Chains A and B, each alone.
Chain A
Amino acid sequence: MSNNTEKQEYTITVYTENQVGLLNRIAIIFSRRKINVESLNTSPSEVPGIHRFTIVVEESRDVVLKVVRQIEKQVEVLKAYFNTNDEIVWQELALYKVLSEEITEKVKVERLLREFGARAVAIRKDFIVFETTGHREETNKLMEALAPFGLVEFVRSARVAIIKESAGFHEKLKDFEEREPGEEVIENEYLGKREAVFTM
């Protein structure tokens, strides 16, 4: 039980229709409960026309389960899953802008590129933009390394995540389109195996 009430990072994956206002409908489910959204990404999914939200929160399993149910209840939401970090593969992308004179004089660019797996995506006379992808700790490291040399701009993208065990949404969608859906898409699929719910 303690494991249900202890806070940890959860990644919520939501498959939705493409509809204006849905982002807000989903967002208010978190804000109503005073839950801070750590990161939020919307993108196309593996199925044409179906959107995929990736939301990261630091919450207990009990809370996340209820939130996910509320998300799934929204008319335009097809399905919502939540996963712990060991159930997903995820990446974040970060961009770093530094002044060229500063960086070329004081740091070995080569070291940056090698050590942090960074790429230079723009090199101009006045500034250079580096890019890294990885987990937050990884992108943080380069930020820390560059900070003493005048990091002009830093930005990091939301998390995007792939669920390791997922077989994708193609088959599920077919089921959803049926008037008499199979048991698979019905929200009570978790009954009886509650502890395994939504972990796919």
Chain B
Amino acid sequence: MEQKKLTGSQAVLEACIAEGVDTIFGYPGGAIMPIYDALYDYKEKLNHILVRHEQGGIHAGQGYARSSGKVGVVFATSGPGATNLVTGLADAMIDSTPLVCITGQVFAHLLGTDAFQETDVINITMPVTKWNYQITDAEEIPTVLAKAFYLARSGRPGPVLIDISKNAQFQEFNYQGYTPCNHIRSYRPKPVIRKNYIDEAVALINNAKKPLVIFGQGVILGKAEKEFKKFIEKSGMPAAWTLLGLSALSTDHPQNVGMLGMHGNYGPNVLTNECDVLIAVGMRFDDRVTGRLDKYAKQAKIIHLDIDPSEIDKNVRATVGVWGDCKETLPLLTLGIEQKDRSEWLAVFADYAKQEYEQCIQPEMYPSSEEMTMAEVIRNINEITEGNAIMVTDVGQHQMVTCRYAKFNDTRSNVTSGGLGTMGFGLPAAIGAKFGAQDRTVIAVIGDGGFQMTLQELGTIMQTGIDVKILILNNQFLGMVRQWQDLFMDKRYSFVDIESPNYVMLAKSYGIEGAKVEHRKDLEAAVKTMLAHKGSYLLEVMVGKENNVFPMVPQGCSVSEIRLK
């Protein structure tokens, strides 16, 4: 075993290298200076991206984790640096994104004295981390970081925060080498699979006349896309996705019947209440998916596959709970299920899809109005990228439209803030997504509201020279809130009218090329120019001010009460 003296700071960076980290998003400050000082000597091995705000750093870390499948690593200082991570931690927690965040902390002897930039980050972040821990003795660094990476990525992934006091960062100690962690006695990353539940689930599926598969991000997090595809293909079942399940199955797959939930597709929502067996794979029955719970799939037997035991029966009571890693459980189900022709049942979906296309999709994608629609912009992008780009979205109407209409061929191509709905997520997450998948085109679709929340990260793009395409869909409103005010609050447009700066000029001041499109005749060429451009590019498209996203399941309504207009 190697025996050498290292400082705590060096041990942190050695741990990162041992864990295969190549990119770190961070921002220095007083209490994390020793780590940054050590980083100066690790520049060759670790690519540190200087962001413009810690929130930008953590969203970039999330984007990186989502596009690469690896753990995102974020550095921040104590006090305000640490508190600026909180939104990203909450976002990563609810969307199960693996992160290891390292925050500096004041000297151990100053803890609890209201020292300069001291904040109790451990207690602040407790509800929004899978695990957190404060280190005040450098000796603990290798084992704690090994535990941190293991916890972040294993089981149901999530964010981990490690707070390291400044003295521990400076402290020299006898470094024993780095041993990755793969077992913690009080922690069970995945439950043991029990054959009887597999058998029960198989029997239910084989006897089903109208089964419906609904899948979430669990398929992606479990790296089980192939297993999932085999599963649905063998049984011929229709499959619908949650917002975060999007891209786990290619959008043009014949059994892919579309999106679930509030702004999902007509068929999957209505038929959730008509299927006889509902097979939920790696999803958590979020209220945006289920609508009114007491009128949700009451007629159906429910099979719920999840790695997290606390998800089973949390919102919807399962007939059979198949606990386990879906990479292991799906093949077991596939083995047992019979090949079936379900074309009649699929035709019912096709019929709903046709109605939706005529009443909603066609008018949005090929509008006759003078005003441009968000959907036609996405259509233009599809035509060029052919579903090969990573689409990163912010939160709001543009997010729903992009997720509804964008084409995806490959997994890990849809990066969005689902559970927390964090406006300002898009731009920094796109930067991170690009670092996580450098050979792919990354397009950030952002509204005029969300963009103004984290536009400082244009500076990160400028300094790193990273290639991110930024598409601002500007409707001059905080559109989703306006839509609700329109539909449910008598059009009382309370503080949703938002002004924008000159985005093209703004981008230019950061050395980023850009253009603004106000008329349909210029749209196609502008999208082409953006995607052909070498390097980052900002395209602002002025879209209809008061367009609403439909279909919609109004809050408090059942999924069968979905409105097409």
Q: Bound state CA distance, A162 and B312, in angstroms?
A: 28
CB distance from B131 to the nearest CB of A (A): 5
Q: Which of B189-227 contact A (CB under 8 A)?
A: 191-192, 194, 196-197
Q: Which of A24, A32, A66, A75 counts the most chain B CB atoms within 10 A?
A: A75
Which residues on A sit within 8 Å (CB–CB) of B323? Answer: 187-188, 191
Report the nearest A residue to B187, measured CB to CB.
Answer: A75
Q: Are A73 and B131 in contact (CB under 8 A)?
A: no
> Do residues A24 and B126 form an inter-chain contact, with CB atoms below 8 A?
yes
Please measure, in the bound complex, the distance between the C-alpha atom of A17 and the C-alpha atom of B186, giving whole angstroms.
7
- Give the chain A neighbours of B312 by CB distance below 8 A: 188
Beta-carbon nearest neighbor of B309 in chain A: A187
A131 to chain B, nearest CB (A): 35
A188 to B196 alpha-carbon distance, docked (Å): 12
B368 contact set on A, CB distance < 8 A: none
Docked-complex contact B185 and A176, CB < 8 angstroms: yes
Say whether, besides A21-B122, A73-B309, A192-B196, A176 and B186 are in contact (CB < 8 Å).
Answer: yes
CB contact between A28 and one of B126, B151, B308 (< 8 Å): that residue: B126
Nearest CB of chain B from residue A17's CB, rounded to whole Å: 5
Q: Mark A147-185, 1 if CB is under 8 A from B, else 0.
A: 000000000000000000000000001001101010101
Q: Which of B192, B314, B321 has the most CB of A within 10 A?
A: B192
Chain B residues near A69 (CB, 8 Å)? 309-310, 314
Q: Which residue of A lies closest to B183 (CB)?
A: A179
Interface residues on A, range: 20 to 34
The residue in chain B whose Cβ has the minimal distance to the Cβ of A177 is B185
Q: Which residues of B contact A181 (CB under 8 A)?
A: 188, 192
Q: How far is the CB of B123 from chain A (nearest CB, A)?
A: 6
In the complex, whether A77 has a CB less than 8 A from a CB of chain B is yes
Which B residues are CB-close (under 8 A) to A173?
185
Q: Is B59 positioned at the interface, with any CB of A under 8 Å from its CB?
A: no
Chain B interface extent, by class = 20 to 34
Q: Could you tell me if B310 and A70 are in contact, using CB atoms closer than 8 angstroms?
A: yes
- The interface residues of chain B lying within 8 Å CB-to-CB of A187 are 188, 191, 309, 323
Please encode chain B, from 300 to 326, with 1 for each CB lying within 8 Å of some chain A CB and 0 for all others.
Answer: 000000001110111000000101000
Q: Of A16, A76, A191, which is within 8 A of B194 by CB?
A: A191
B388 to chain A, nearest CB (A): 38
A191 touching B321 by the CB < 8 A rule? Answer: yes
Q: Is B184 in the interface zone, CB < 8 Å from A?
A: yes
Does A192 lie within 8 Å of B314, measured CB to CB?
no
CA distance A51 to B460 in the complex (A): 47
Q: Are B194 and A188 in contact (CB under 8 A)?
A: yes
Majority SS of interface residues in chain A? helix
Q: Which of B123, B151, B191 has the most CB of A within 10 A?
A: B191
The answer on a CB contact under 8 Å between B186 and A76 is yes
Tell me which of B127, B131, B308 contacts A32 (CB under 8 A): B127
- Distance between Cα atoms of A176 and B184 in the complex (Å): 9
B320 closest partner in A (C-beta): A191
For the complex, give the distance between the alpha carbons of A69 and B314 in Å: 9
User: How far does the alpha carbon of A76 sit from the alpha carbon of B194 in the complex, in Å?
Assistant: 25
Contacts of A192 in B (CB 8 A): 196-197
A191 contacts across to B, CB distance below 8 A = 194, 197, 321, 323
- The distance from the CB of B90 to the nearest CB of chain A, in whole angstroms, is 13
User: Which chain B residues in 74-131 approach chain A with CB under 8 Å?
Assistant: 122-123, 126-127, 130-131
Whether a CB of chain B sits under 8 angstroms from the CB of A141 is: no
Pair A185/B188 contact, Cβ less than 8 Å: yes
Does A200 lie at the interface of the complex (its beta carbon under 8 Å from any beta carbon of B)? no
Which residues of B lie under 8 Å from residue A73 when comparing CB positions? 308-310
Q: Are B321's CB and A75's CB within 8 A?
A: no
Q: 0/1 per residue, B16-31, Cβ < 8 Å to A? A: 0000000000000000
A29 to B156, CA, bound (A): 18
Tell me if A12 is interfacial: C-beta within 8 Å of chain B: no
Find out whether the CB atom of A188 lies under 8 angstroms from the CB atom of B191.
yes
CB <8 Å contact, B192 and A75: no
Q: In the bound complex, how far is the Cα of B122 from the Cα of A24, in angstroms?
A: 10
- With both beta carbons as reference points, the residue of chain A lying nearest to B123 in the complex is identified as A24
A174 → chain B, closest Cβ, in Å? 10
- Choose among A25, A70, A177 the residue with the greatest number of B CB atoms under 10 Å from its CB: A25
**B126:A25 contact, CB within 8 angstroms:** yes
A123 at the interface (CB under 8 A from B): no
Smallest CB–CB gap between A183 and chain B, Å?
Answer: 6
Q: Is the CB of A16 within 8 A of B122?
A: no
The yes or no answer to A64 lying at the interface (CB within 8 A) is no
Kindly list 18 other residue pairs between chains A and B, CB separation below 8 angstroms, not including A66-B313, A187-B309.
A17-B186, A24-B126, A25-B126, A28-B127, A66-B310, A73-B309, A75-B187, A77-B186, A181-B188, A183-B192, A185-B188, A188-B191, A188-B192, A188-B309, A188-B312, A188-B321, A191-B194, A192-B197
The 6 A-B residue pairs whose C-beta atoms are closest, nearest first, are A69-B310, A187-B309, A188-B323, A186-B192, A78-B186, A188-B191
**A–B complex contacts, Cβ < 8 Å, 29 sampled:** A16-B186, A17-B186, A21-B122, A21-B123, A24-B123, A24-B126, A32-B127, A66-B313, A66-B314, A69-B309, A69-B310, A72-B309, A72-B310, A75-B131, A75-B184, A75-B187, A76-B186, A76-B187, A78-B185, A173-B185, A176-B186, A179-B182, A179-B183, A185-B188, A186-B188, A187-B191, A188-B192, A188-B309, A191-B194
Chain A residues near B (Cβ < 8 Å): 16-17, 20-21, 24-25, 28, 32, 65-66, 69-70, 72-73, 75-78, 173, 176-177, 179, 181, 183, 185-188, 191-192
